[in-house]
Chain A
Amino acid sequence: MSDPILLFLIVDAAALVLLGVCASAVPSAACGFVTTMLSGLGGLLCLPPLLMRATPTAFVIPVGPPGLSLHFALDPLSGFFLLIVFLSGTAIAALQATANPPSAIQLGRLTALTIAGSGLALLAADGVTLTIGVAVACGIRWLPRPAAGPLLIPLLLLAAVCLLTPSGFAPRFDAVRAAPVDADRAIAAAALTIAAVVGLAWNVPAWAGSGWAGSGWAGSASGPIGSVPTGTVATGSVTAGPVTAASVTAGAARTGSAWAGSAWAGSAPETANSCESGAGSWVAAALGAGVLIPLGGYLLLRVIADLSSSTTQTGCGFVLLLAGAAVAVIQAWRAAGHPDIDGSLVRLTQRQTGLMMASTGLALIARAADLPDAAAFALAAALLSAIGGAASGVVASFAVHAIGASTGTYRLSRLGGLIHTMPVASAALAAGLLGLSAVPPGVGFAGLWLLLQSILSGPRTGGLLFQLPLALTAGALALSAALTTAGAVRLAGVALLGRPRTPQGAGAHESKPPSRLILLTLAGITVVTGILPGALLWLIASPAIRAMAGAASGMRVGLTLLVPSSTSPSYLALPVFALLALATGMAMLLARRTRQEAKTAGPWSDGMEPPPGLPFGDPAAQSVGAGFLPAFPAPAWPGPPRLPGFAPPRPPSATAVVWLLIAAFAALLLALALVG
């Protein structure tokens, strides 16, 4: 049954390539509509093999030099990622198709070619086809600004597959699996793959925020949602232009305040970088989160976990583990401190790459130690990160775009109070942030639980040097989770809550009904994914997990996640959600019984008189999200030695005690290393 499906999928991807190439000959709305249909069809085609647990199939197109025909294959792993890529692509293309005014034709081409290239790469069964697919997906993203770096990504992948291929064979995956190469080549191939995946995920924000909008792309449209004049969005000139007067009026009408436009014009120093990303950034961010980051996860699993020799997988696993943990912490930290809402969101989605890398590393380590249950947990975490990152990232990108298009800025310090004026976009952004952060009932928490469960079930051999990376990874994952939660609270609290900080914010409006419907649907999917992660994994991911982990057991159907045995408790996502809802409901009932009618009052500014022209207080006095992170440790390193007698004796301070403890900690670690 899956033979014709594979053929249809190839034709579908080829049609998307054709559509992308001929995009300028097709009306913009039609291009978006056809992309939606083709992408949705691809997603539907992926479902039967996944749900019916079909066996892997292959197909060869005899094109190319002898021995280098184009090989395609459809197995559970590629089917799982194809489903994610096509469904994300469907949502992105649908939003572009329903845009009013229509989005730029270049953006339609970008979407079609990125989906098509990713689909081809996921269906590839040899190095050349993989390279072609990744080149199509990447090449279009950097076409307006040619740069050597991004185009290296497909070449890095080709080099990795070639390194894994035994001498005298074509770089076909079945040949690689049949005759594993030695450790040095496998490790080099893993390093090249990691570099390619990091490049795939990392270059999204640079492309999006580096002036693409000003170089002709954004000039053609102000984005699919909203109707802010193009000049306002592209230049970030928030207080200038016709928007200001209209927004002041609208804001005053909505909030009942008597803001004076002149006061705002005089107190709005931040105009630079306010909307630097332009109209194309949301498409790039959404494609990055929903298509390219899952593709990176697939490449890690395919090239390093599937094609590499099992003898080298422990070393590769540790490298992936540490690299993934570092990526997760760094990106979460950057997200929690970024001044723009879109930049912060991009970093939150890039953190998913780190989680997938760490999960893959853990799976490799567990598989090498012959612990299939631990490997299954880690693989489930990787696949759940891919699902959660794609769904949450896409919906959050849409919501952020709606906010940017309506308010004319992405700068956090200029947003605020959007829950009053854009409730649907606010709810969608909150749902996306819930999925990206590590708080139940979000899907991010389920992924974190699985990762930590994998460490819990992982190997306990090898002494300190073997176990230290696992402990450090657990710490890094916990830190990354806390940073992500802080970042999500910051985005939601500053941008959506409080009072508006600008007239544009006060006068923001919701997007058109079709876009709102898409936003709400995606938000619902994101929430349901977090509440029923076990069922979702069982439906579409269990064949891939079983094939990769080699575990026949370990999978339990229903509301729970993977558990090692039927007697061991697990994370019960739906009952936990029900408990939370029940407890909150009880508290709400109690409050309703005792609550009296509230007396309303104006904003309290600690007894200070409101500034002139702002009778309801200065909105800029609210938090702008600058202090959500702890101060970065800046130890006072010892300076040059002083001569005895000149330095007055200093009493030991609390800082000295802390550093003494750290030194003792390091010494203890060293002692443990020597002992064990």
Chain B
Amino acid sequence: MSAVLALLAQILHLGLMLVAAPAVAAVLDWLDARWSGRAGPPILAPWRDLVRLSRKQPVMVESVSVVARLMPTVGLGATLAAAALVPSFTLGMALSPLADVLVIVALLTIARVAAALGALDAGAALPGLAAENASALAVLAEPALMLAVVALALIGGSFNLDLIVGQQREGLLLPAAASAMALTAMLALVFAEASGADDGLDMMLSGTSLAMARMTGWLRRLVWIDLIGSLFVPIGMATADNFPVPWLIGLAWWFVRLGAFILGLSAVQALLGGVPRHSLADLIGVAALLALLATVMVLAGAGGA
């Protein structure tokens, strides 16, 4: 029975992620407009965009290879796999044994690599430049993210996300200072990500491929939000075999977490503005330093001091 519930929770989680990803994008756009005093786009706009794009006849550069045709799909698949592994409202889903934090980071890397390869295959100047820029930033951002999750794994004693979240839920994820440092690093990375580090990679895409690239970006942002939310604020998360009331509570808390994060991110962006492209490396560098500091503090056992 518990296996069936775990599978059911997994399917529900994946469905929620797929539905919520465009919704988060829509709400963020709407809030962004509202902070600026404009009316804002309709909430259903992202879904309409997806449908419209999937109905359009795509235009492909004649020199592209099968890589350019496949890469949007691979990117979406990798991001979808990462989304399946990050818990939203419950722990102990069917895929939780695979939910290794390093694997999740690597799956997000695969999606980025796929986008870069697709851009390079287009054989045009600007997508190639965008791929170079994205790669240069990823050289800083990926170690920072990996160090942050390593710090949390060192605190939790395992790379498995479910185990780390479980310990955090029971208040065992100490030292708190190192945990806070890792949280700050990850928030800085999310802020850098939201400032459009991958702009231009989908310049040569159209039709269904562009719809997939858009969905990949939205899903990636939701994975980030969920990862941070479950690692640092796992309030109300259920376990898969506690059905149905804890599930409903977990779902309600997930919506609250999501709403709070969206509001916070939107407010920060409205107050501080987007990070200029030339300053992104500085922001990511600071995040990497914070993540390294968190790792040092955990290893030296001085985080609780």
Contacts and interface: CB of A to CB of B under 8 A. Distances in A.
Interface stretch (A305-313, A317-325, A624-632): A624-632
A576 B103 contact: yes
Which of B109, B117, B133 is the most central at the interface, judged by chain A CB atoms within 10 Å of its CB?
B109
B74 A440 contact: no
B299 interface: yes
B108 to A, nearest CB: 11
Contacts of A449: 100, 102, 159
B222 interface: no
B60 interface: yes
B279 interface: yes
B73 A482 contact: no
A665 B294 CA distance: 11
A452 B147 contact: no
A482 to B, nearest CB: 4
Contacts of A626: 132
Given A498-B128, A580-B78, A598-B57, A571 B102 contact: yes
B137 interface: yes
A467 interface: yes
B159 A583 contact: no
A603 B63 contact: yes
Interface residues of A, number: 96
Interface stretch (A22-30, A128-136, A182-190, A615-623): A615-623
B205 to A, nearest CB: 11
B207 A629 contact: no
A439 B110 contact: yes
B147 A482 contact: no
Nearest to B296: A471
Contacts of B70: 588
A585 interface: yes
Contacts of A470: 299
Contacts of B60: 598-601
A662 B287 CA distance: 11
Interface stretch (A3-11, A242-250, A488-496): A488-496
Interface stretch (A296-304, A542-550, A668-676): A668-676
A572 interface: yes
B131 interface: yes
Interface stretch (B19-27, B149-157, B231-239, B242-250): B149-157
A456 B67 CA distance: 37
B67 A672 contact: no
Contacts of A602: 61-62
Contact of B135 (A463, A475, A490): A490
Interface in A85-138: none
A417 interface: yes
A396 interface: no
B117 A497 contact: yes
B158 A672 contact: no
A82 B68 CA distance: 41
Interface stretch (A47-55, A263-271, A641-649, A653-661): A653-661
A286 B109 CA distance: 28
Given A438-B106, A481-B142, A493-B117, A580 B62 contact: no
B3 interface: no
B137 A672 contact: no
A566 interface: no
Contact of A452 (B65, B102, B299, B301): B102
Given A485-B109, A600-B61, A622 B123 contact: yes
Nearest to A618: B125
A255 B65 CA distance: 12
A556 interface: no
Contacts of B132: 623, 625-628
A260 to B, nearest CB: 18
A583 B113 contact: no
A191 B119 CA distance: 46
B116 A489 contact: yes
Interface string A587-599: 1100100111111
B258 interface: no
Nearest to B127: A623
B200 to A, nearest CB: 12
Interface string B111-136: 00100110011111110110111011
Nearest to A599: B59
Interface of B: 54-63, 65-68, 70, 72-74, 76-78, 80-81, 84, 95, 97-98, 100, 102-103, 106-107, 109-110, 113, 116-117, 120-126, 128-129, 131-133, 135-140, 142-143, 146-147, 150, 153-154, 157-160, 163, 204, 207-209, 212, 279, 281-282, 285-286, 288-289, 292-293, 295-297, 299-302, 305
Given A489-B135, A580-B81, 13 more contacts: A255-B63, A455-B154, A475-B147, A489-B113, A569-B160, A583-B76, A601-B62, A603-B62, A617-B123, A623-B132, A627-B135, A629-B136, A672-B297
11 contacts: A416-B123, A438-B106, A475-B147, A569-B97, A576-B103, A580-B110, A601-B61, A623-B131, A627-B133, A658-B285, A672-B300
